[in-house]
Each structure stands twice: as structure tokens, then as C-alpha cells.
Structure 1
Amino acid sequence: MTLRLPALALLALLPAAARAQEATQLSYAIYAAGLNVLVVDSKAEFGPRDYRIDLAYRTTGLYGTFIPVRIDSFAQGSWNGARPAPQRFASWGVARGKERRITLDYPGGQPVIRTLVPATEPDRDPVPPAQQRDTMDTLSAMAFLVRQVAQTGRCDGTVRIFDGRRVLETQSVTAGSESLSEDYRSAFKGTALRCDMRGRQLAGFQHDADEAEIRRVHVSHAWLAPLVPGQPALPVRVSFETRFFGSATAYLTQFGPTQAVR
């Protein structure tokens, strides 16, 4: 199952201090064609030096009955100025009846594939090492967006993402503040900063895919707002494209503190 945007990477940052930290638990429901097709749970912590993101998503409802998917993932790293410096990314689970596992480490700041299941498909172009350089994982890319908004009030920036199979480039620009009205699918209403993102695949193309489709620019939008006064803005809504069910929107459904022990 392929999502066109690292939209499930919905947060955050983690202090390195070896003590109990108050984390934020967030849940999202993703709707497509009026149906709830995915649920997402994330744990997020913010810190000045290090970060970690834990995220799980699964298909649900009728869609989940026919196409069962359950993926867990995490990313951890430190901050190099304003940009993330990933240390490890891991993702594992089952999608469409097949085991999926990816582990990336970043010795010297560059990605190294430790685990890749299934192995690189023969019908997919391998990503040359030169195109893997200076990339980050999907979760770190969204952490970068959240940090940009927290530090500058804007979401302008460009990142290159390597997920073990493909390289994507995503550019985010500030679109301004918008008022999100009450919606039965969402726990949030109010003013949020809208970030418009344009993503395109640069490497790791499948031979049997529609070339025009995989090379075109995909547009998505994220709305961020503080959930607690004085705290950084977090994603409260994300609209994006998927390969299997077209346009989709993730709505924040629950949020609150959870205790993470380090």
C-alpha cells in the first residue's frame, strides 16, 4: 500500500534526557470517498536536542476486510541546526498479505539499508547511492515541518526522502491561516496554518507503472495548530493522494498526554 505523501508521519520530537517525559498521543481517522479507510495512532514528544516518532496505521471497515494492512514504524534522531539528523528509521508489518520490513541507519549522516523485506523488486530501478545521499526518512521529514512552524511560524522548506525503495522530493510553502469549521470527523475546530506541499518521485521507479502518473507532481495540504495553549502547532488535518483510493483526508480524532519513560 502506497501513500503519495508522507502524510502518516504526523509528528514529533524527543528530548534525550534519561527521565520520564510527557508525550502527546494523537489519533487520526483517514477518509476517502466518504468512508473511514484508515486509522492512525502516533506518540509525539518535543525536545531541543533529539526527537523520536512512533506511529502505527491500519486499514479499517470494509476496506480493511478486503485489504488488511497494519504497519508500525518509528524514527529517532537529533537536530543539526534547524534540520533533522536521522539516526534510525524502522517500519514493519503486513500489507496485502505480505510481510514488510525496512530498517535504515545513518552512520556519518547517510542512509544505509540494514533490512529490506521484500528485497528490491526486479521490476523496480535501484536507487543509486548518489541519490540516497543527504536524504531523510518520511517521519523525520514531517518532524522537520513541525519544527519549522514552531520556530518560524512558517512551513517553507524542501526535503528529499529515501524510504529504502524510492527517493521523493517534497517542497512545502506557507499558504496562510484558515478557519476549520466544526466537523463530526474531527476533534479540532478553529484557526490553523495551512501548508501546501508538492511532491514528486525522483528515483526507484517501477517498470510496469504508469510513467506519467509516477512522475507527475502530487499536491497535498496540511493544517497545523496548537492543541494546548503555548505548545507547538501539530497537524490537525492533512489532505493527500493515495494510489489505491484516490484523494483522502486525515482528521485528528483524539489527543492528550501520555507518559513516555526514557
Structure 2
Amino acid sequence: MTSDTLSIRRSITGRLLAGLTLASSCLLAPGALAEQADAPAPAPSLKSAADTLPAAQNIHLRYGVFIHGYRALGADADYVLQPWGYGVETHLYTVGLASWFLTLNLLSSAQGHFNGDNVAPVSFSNSGFAHGEEEKAHIDFDLTGPHVAVFLPVDKQREPLPAAELKQSVDMLSFLVALTHRMTLKQDCTFSRPVFDGIRLSYLDVHGPSQTTLPKDHGSYFRGDALKCDFTGRQIGGFSIGTRFKAAQSSPHKGTVWFVHDPQGGFVPARIEFDHYKMGQILVVLQAAPKVSAVTHTQTR
């Protein structure tokens, strides 16, 4: 496998994972999930969303991922809200006909602390299989920035990373935690920060929200009012040496996320659309009711 092919595959996987976890502002916890009906439901009113913030809960979300209109992947996200910190776990896997030519089964998780309306990540991990290869990563964070403890498969043919931006960076899940945390606190999603995945450094910039109506297609569970946030992302470091895709990777790529407010789950992303420089439009749609249960244990700091 060439370094360009490996780079493309990892970039696709990373962006897909990003779209699945925009609901994360909490610390992962085990526990049974209360079953709810899967019939399409109207999105609740956004007027008093901040006043109905739920207590600590285990929340499970299930998404379908569409590439050029075809469902290729499934995704699950689990999280628990705590006032002092956060964590999230996601599972991304191939479904249907896509399983014939693409093997993807990845688990990702992150933990950290809240710092006002921002985040301070502690760790990020990723493991699983893609195209028959084991993928494994672990990054620790402290005041000096990220420290890569594990990254497989080994890929050393990369340009240097800009030091200042690297020190300020967070992992993708922590960025998305911060975004949703801001929505929960003040219904604002204007936020930007460098994001590091272990080899590549990107810059994500989000603006909004604006009030709109949620599209009804692709089996969307929610309908009705939503808050829409627009974002752009571009790679700023860690390019493969000699790649012919550098110009495309460093160009801004646009996307949109629609948030709805669920009475039990709080703010959740019901739909995410974004453009990939090689694959085109990718769509992520929440296809079932959030499943919620109370946290049955306490977490010490």
C-alpha cells in the first residue's frame, strides 16, 4: 500500500469519526439503556433547551452514514454528562454492500476536563481494523501539548508539524465535546482550534447557529426545528512527503451540522453533512431515538 493510499484512507476514517461524535460532552459510563420507540418524531422546541438540561445520564445515539446517497457505514456513540469532565466512545463499522469491498471496524474514545466553555483533553485512543490492517493509536495530553504513545501502522514519511499550533491542539472527539458543550451552555457554536490525530494536524472553524428546519430524508428520526452550525476544516501539517494531494488537503472543506434538543438527551446532532476532497459529499443522519439511562455509579476526579 502506498503512502498516498494510506493517507487517503486514514483521512476518510478520521473525518467520518468526526461527524459521528458532535453530540459528545460527557464521560462514558456503562449501564442499561431505556428502550424508546423508533418512529419518526418532531424535534422539540428549542426555546427553553438550556433550562431543561438533564442530570448525569448514559446516552446512546445510532447513526447511518451515506456516501453519494448510499448507506455504507453504521455508527454508534455513547456518552455521559458530568459538570466537571467529559468522555465519549464511538463505534464505526461497515454495513450492507459496502462490507463486500471495505472492512472497517473502529472504536474510538476520549476523556478530559471542562475549562469554562472550553476543554482540556487527557487522552484519546483509537483501535480496530480497516482494509485488513490493525489500526491503533493512543495520545496523552498535558500543558505542553499532545504526546503520541502508540500509532499503528507506522508511517514516518511526513512533513514536520507546526509547533505552536500543535501545542494548542486537541483530539477530534474533544473538539466536538467543546462544540456541544458551548451549545448546551449558551446555544452558541462559534469555535475554532487545531485538531491532531497522531500524524496530521488540521484546523477546524465553526460558526453559528442559525434557526432552520431539519431535512426529512435518509430515515431521519427527528423532524421540525433545528439549530444549524456551519464549519470548515483544512489540514495544516503532517502532509505525506511528495503527495500530489497537498493542495486539495490544505484547501478549506465545508460542512454543516444540525442540532436538535431532546427532552432527555439534551442537545444532539441530528444530521451532519461535509465534503471530502476525494470522496465528495458524506452525510451522517441520526436514525433512532436517543436511548437514555441514569448513571448508577460515581466518578472520582
Match of 2:24 in 1: 12
| Residues 16 and 50, structure 1, Cα contact 8 Å, conserved in 2 | no
- Cα distance, 1:168–1:74 mapped onto 2, change above 3 Å: same
Match of 1:85 in 2: 120
- Cα distance, 1:259–1:48 mapped onto 2, change above 3 Å: closer
Provide TM-score, normalisation by structure 2: 0.79
Task: Specify every segment of 5 or more residues in structure 1 that has no aligned partner in the other structure, as ranges.
Answer: none
For 2:28 and 2:19, how far apart are their aligned partners in 1? 26
Match of 2:194 in 1: 160
The answer as to 2:166 corresponding to 1:132 is yes
| Post-superposition offset of 1:31 | 1.0
Deviations 1:54-103 (A, max 9, x none): 10101222222201111101000001121110001000111122111110
Match of 1:242 in 2: 276
Pairing partner for 1:169 from 203, 212, 217:
203
CA RMSD of aligned residues (A): 2.3
Task: Specify every segment of 5 or more residues in structure 2 that has no aligned partner in the other structure, as ranges.
Answer: 1-8, 33-55
- Cα distance, 1:217–1:73 mapped onto 2, change above 3 Å: same
Match of 2:252 in 1: 217
Match of 1:205 in 2: 239
| Residues 253 and 276, structure 2, Cα contact 8 Å, conserved in 1 | no
Provide TM-score, normalisation by structure 1: 0.91
| Residues 131 and 203, structure 1, Cα contact 8 Å, conserved in 2 | no
Amino acid at match of 1:153: Q
| Residues 135 and 160, structure 1, Cα contact 8 Å, conserved in 2 | yes
Pairing partner for 2:220 from 161, 174, 186:
186
The answer as to 2:178 corresponding to 1:144 is yes
The answer as to 2:66 corresponding to 1:54 is no
Q: Any idea what SS the aligned residue of 1:186 has?
A: coil
- Cα distance, 1:245–1:150 mapped onto 2, change above 3 Å: same
For 1:192 and 1:174, how far apart are their aligned partners in 2? 12
Report matched runs for 1:221-232 at 5 Å. Answer: 221-228=256-263, 232=266
Q: Any idea what SS the aligned residue of 1:111 has?
A: strand
| Post-superposition offset of 1:183 | 3.1
| Residues 126 and 165, structure 1, Cα contact 8 Å, conserved in 2 | no
For 1:105 and 1:245, how far apart are their aligned partners in 2? 31
For 1:72 and 1:15, how far apart are their aligned partners in 2? 16
For 2:220 and 2:173, how far apart are their aligned partners in 1? 22
Amino acid at match of 2:206: S
Amino acid at match of 1:155: C
Match of 2:39 in 1: none
Deviations 1:192-248 (A, max 9, x none): 10000011111011222322211110000000111226x531101000123563201
Amino acid at match of 1:14: C
Match of 1:102 in 2: 137
| Residues 28 and 87, structure 2, Cα contact 8 Å, conserved in 1 | no
Q: Any idea what SS the aligned residue of 1:159 has?
A: strand
Q: Any idea what SS the aligned residue of 2:285 has?
A: strand
Pairing partner for 1:115 from 132, 139, 150:
150
Q: Any idea what SS the aligned residue of 1:139 has?
A: helix
| Post-superposition offset of 1:131 | 3.5
Comparing 214-223 with 241-250, which one deviates more in the overlay? Answer: 241-250
| Post-superposition offset of 1:11 | 2.8
- Cα distance, 1:62–1:260 mapped onto 2, change above 3 Å: farther
| Residues 88 and 110, structure 2, Cα contact 8 Å, conserved in 1 | yes
- Cα distance, 1:235–1:16 mapped onto 2, change above 3 Å: closer
Match of 2:48 in 1: none
Q: Any idea what SS the aligned residue of 1:189 has?
A: strand
